Structure 1
Amino acid sequence: MTCIAVTPHRAQLGEGPFWDAPTQALYWVDIAARQALRLQGSQVQVWQLPEHVSAFIPCASGDALVTLSSGVHRLDLATQALTLLCVADPHAGNRANEARCDAQGRLWLGTMQNNLGEQGEDLPVTRRCGGLYRIDADGQVTPLLQGLGIPNTLLWSEQGRQVHFADSLDGTLYRHAIQPDGQLDPAQAWFGPHERGVPDGSAMDSEGYIWNARWDGSCLLRLAPDGSLDRIIELPVSRPTSCVFGGPNLTTLYITSAASPLNHPLDGALLAIEVQVPGTPCHRFAG
């Protein structure tokens, strides 16, 4: 597989890629630099935000959601005005991390102890105080999990009866059955730990395989539906953070990455790989 850097932009902490099929645009963030970014064609547009931002997701209504330290906000893409939708996690000292929408357009948001200083420098994670929350189109919040370390990866089975969810502090990807009332059954360990880094964000292809970015592992792991390792995809970056399928046929795998002490030339780049098996689509927020 040939891996290329899509733009000259280098992120301090690139994350949260989202492919918007209607506009053929890629959304992602630089958490530490407080930037929301969009690639459309060859043009990159940047929205500078007042707080660390972990996700940038277009909405059915035409604006976008940004998950900031102070809560989930709507971002007017033309005026850059922010409007608070909700505060999902009431715990002081936590920040948003992983966030994706399910097939119903509801936002699932994982939070964690803030590990970023004012200049984006790393701070230690010393508490398992994060949570997982579901946010409906009207902003109603439903708590789902508590006591999380570093939540990452949110992917649903085709029927929407199970969710895959990772805690990087454990080095493990879990699977939860979703109850009829929307609550989650206890976690079942699904994959990990593994010697190639810790699990960060993931994407799912049309065969149900999960492509998991490995922080400090310089690779993606393609994991079979039964939780076995299918293959390792080597990458020219030290800290891949997440991935998403995009392009007209969902056969371009976009990969975000972060800077690292190794100072590899492509660390922080947005990468792309062409694959044979197409991916599953992203969903806009329903509000």
Structure 2
Amino acid sequence: MPTAAQLTEPIAEHGEGPVWDADGGRLLAVDLERGDLLAVSTGGEVSTHHVADALACVRPRREGGWVVAARRRFALVDSVTDLLAGREEPRMLPPLWDDAELRFNEGGCDPQGRFFCGSMAYGDGGKGGEPVGVLWRLDPDGSARPVLDGLTIPNGLAWSPDGQRAYHVDSPSGEISLLHVAPDTGEVLDREPWVRLADVLGADPGGVPDGLVVDAEGGVWVAVNGAGAVVRLDAGGGLSERVDVGVPGVTACTLGGTGEGDDGTRGGAVLYVTTSTQGVDLDAHPASGSVFSLPVEVAALPPLRYDG
């Protein structure tokens, strides 16, 4: 079993939402409940900037800049470099709800340039664990609307290389599902189970699916939170690889590079993994909250971009 190496010191209470910044040649991620944006170089150096009272997800914009999901609203950033240097503040869009027990969690963009992100209840609130989560869609014109409800902890969301299917996780289900999204309107037409972790990892997979990323071959890399691992499922849903991370709180993963030999790595891509300290015995797992990395033999897909 390949093992990811610790790339950084512990830098997050709850690391999440990693995405490759091709222009900056670095990894971006968040410390979710602290509301911090993290920029990690390929050598492990880290820059941090506090953005909001929670920061769930960050994705690139087509014409440059970034879109982020804060606690209950979306926001736009023109330059992460300027943001990190304190020369820019995000342009916050209107809040989408008033309930203080809810926050954004994870998401991604579709091939048509729309940004989807799921909301959920905080675990320590009265609604924690209830199916009050909603998948929201931010359209290029800046308007936002709910497109799927009844979720509990909506997590990873990514499209296949041909753009024909979307993989989505609602973590307590133990499944990776397929979302059928109308390409012309962005409406979610259906959601169906694709792979249950228990079917590919055994009756007790050791954790639940969390964040995910799709590679250029159509493989789906899924963080298994609680099991200290990332697994790769091939396009048919079969287990093709398991990567040990060494700490249990594995939250999300992404692939850096373009498959063109960047950094001399095998296949041109590096698997990056964020981790959490929450609910973890830090005496037993002191590296929790670090970013881990591993060169892999497949090429990365550039992250899809928001068209607003």
TM-score (norm 2): 0.84
* Aligned residue number for residue 105 of structure 1: 113
Does residue 271 of structure 1 match 2:292? yes
Helix, strand or coil at the partner of 1:32? helix
Contact 2:161 2:301 in 1 (8 A): no
* Aligned residue number for residue 35 of structure 2: 34
Following superposition, the deviation at residue 92 of structure 1 comes to 5.2
Structure (1/2) with the larger helix percentage: 2
* Aligned residue number for residue 233 of structure 2: 223
Farther off after superposition, 54-63 or 212-221 = 54-63
Residue 106 of structure 1 aligns with an amino acid whose one-letter code is R
Pick aligned residue for 2:281 from 259, 262, 271:
262
* Aligned residue number for residue 280 of structure 1: 301
Helix, strand or coil at the partner of 1:220? strand
Does residue 251 of structure 1 match 2:269? yes
Unpaired segments ≥5 residues, structure 1: 118-122
Does residue 125 of structure 1 match 2:128? yes
Contact 1:55 1:98 in 2 (8 A): yes
* Aligned residue number for residue 11 of structure 1: 12
Residue 111 of structure 1 aligns with an amino acid whose one-letter code is S
- Determine the C-alpha separation between the residues in 2 that align with 1:40 and 1:104: 29
Q: Percent identity?
A: 30
TM-score (norm 1): 0.89
Helix, strand or coil at the partner of 2:177? strand
Helix, strand or coil at the partner of 1:23? coil
Alignment map for 1:1-287 (pairs within 5 Å)? 1-40=2-41, 42=43, 43-75=45-77, 77=83, 78-88=86-96, 93-115=101-123, 125-179=128-182, 180-194=184-198, 195-196=204-205, 197-247=207-257, 249=259, 250-259=268-277, 260-263=279-282, 264-287=285-308
- Determine the C-alpha separation between the residues in 2 that align with 1:125 and 1:193: 23
Helix, strand or coil at the partner of 2:236? coil
Helix, strand or coil at the partner of 1:225? coil
The 1:274/1:124 distance shift into structure 2, 3 A limit, reads farther
- Determine the C-alpha separation between the residues in 2 that align with 1:49 and 1:8: 21
- Determine the C-alpha separation between the residues in 1 that align with 2:64 and 2:192: 37
Residue 83 of structure 1 aligns with an amino acid whose one-letter code is R
Residue 280 of structure 2 aligns with an amino acid whose one-letter code is P
Which ranges of 4 or more aligned residues in structure 1 deviate by more than 6 Å?
none
Following superposition, the deviation at residue 209 of structure 1 comes to 1.0
Helix, strand or coil at the partner of 2:23? helix
Following superposition, the deviation at residue 186 of structure 1 comes to 2.2
